[in-house]
Amino acid sequence: MTQDATVDQLQRYLQEQLVEAEDISNVEQRKQRILKLETALFEAIEFIKSVEDRETIESVIFEESAPVRLISSSNNDDDDGHTMANSESCPKCDEPQSSEFSFCQVCGYQRK
């Protein structure tokens, strides 16, 4: 595919995924997926609005900024002595989870 993705395409994709998420049989997984999609959709809409507002006042749309935090490429040891990467899956919802937090950022599961 030679066409670059656009924010409009992302918004339509998220809307399609939202419709498909209604078919998820597991209630908790369905709620989590819908919440993620609605949040992403809200951010896409806010982004579009922000760009339109900045274009109206002829302001700079984006300025490159430094990262908020650096992601280390080193490995960490868990409590059992096993080496893990900085990201692993949550045992409750199977979503990617950063090892720098003691809880899952998606479902709130507290790690030991």
pTM for the model stands at 0.48
Q: Where are the domains of the chain?
A: 7-56, 75-112
Give the pLDDT score at 65. Answer: 67
Give per-residue pLDDT as tens, 7-24.
889 999 999 999 999 999
Burial of 49-83, coded b for 16+ CB within 10 Å and e otherwise, reads eeeeeeeeeeeeeeeeeeeeeeeeeeeeeeeeeee
Give per-residue pLDDT as tens, 23-32.
999 999 999 9
